[in-house]
Amino acid sequence: MANTTVGEALDLIGGELQDLISTVRAADQVPAERALDLLADADRVFVHGAGRSGLALRMTAMRLMHLGLDVHVVGEVTTPAIRQGDLLLVASGSGTTGGIVQAARTAADVGARVLAVSTTDQSPLSEVADTTLVLPAATKTDRSGTASAQYAGGLFEQGVALLGDALFHALWQRSGHSADDLWPRHANLE
C-alpha cells in the first residue's frame, strides 16, 4: 500500500469536515438556534467531555470566557457545584459515555439545563438533554472505517471543536461587541 502524505491526509480530513458541515446544514436548524439561547441565558456554563472531546470543549470554554460568560470545566479544582439556572454543555459521540450521562442526569436533577453534542439524538444522553446537536460522524468505538476513514472518533472530535467555534461566532455577532471589546478578557498572568 502506498503511504499517505500529510497533504493527502489534510485533504481527507478537510473533505470529511465539508461533508459533515453540509449534512448539518441540510438538517433542522432549530436545535442550533436553541443552543444559542441556552448559552446566552445561563447563569454559568459548565463543560464536560472525555478525552479529545473534552479538549475540544475546553477550546469552546475559553472562547465563552472571552465573551464574558462565567465558565467552568468539570474536573478542574475550582469548579463549584452546578445548580438551577446553570447550563451543562457535554459532548459524547455515542451518547452513552458513563460519566457524561451521569453528569447530565445530575445536572437535570438539580434543575440545570443540558446541551449535548453527539452523533445521535437517540441515546441515553439525548434523553436527558434539553437540546442535542447532532454531528453525523463515526463514534469513538466505531473502528470499521465506514463512517470516516479517520481513526476512531477523530471526525466527531474535530466537529465538536468547529461547532463550538460556530456557536461562539454566532453569539459574538449577536453580542454586537468588537474583537477589541473581547481582548481585555484574555488571560494576562502567563
Question: 146-185: which residues touch a second copy (CB under 8 A)?
Answer: 150-152, 154, 157-158, 161-163, 165-170, 172-174, 178-180, 182-185
Could you say whether residue 21 binds a second copy (CB under 8 A)? yes
CA dist 106 and 108 (Å) reads 5
Q: Which of residues 91-150 bind a second copy (CB under 8 A)?
A: 99, 103, 106-107, 110, 143, 145, 150
Residue 176 grid coordinates:
454586537
Report the residue from 40, 41, 51, 84 that binds a second copy according to the rule CB under 8 A: 51
Could you say whether residue 65 binds a second copy (CB under 8 A)? yes
**Which lies closer to a second copy via its Cβ, residue 55 or residue 122?**
55
Count of residues touching a second copy (by CB under 8 A): 87
16 a catalytic residue: no
Residue 134 grid coordinates:
447532532
β-pairing verdict for 113-118 and 87-91: parallel
Phi, psi (deg, nearest 5) at residue 8: -65, -40
CB atoms within 10 A of CB 43: 13
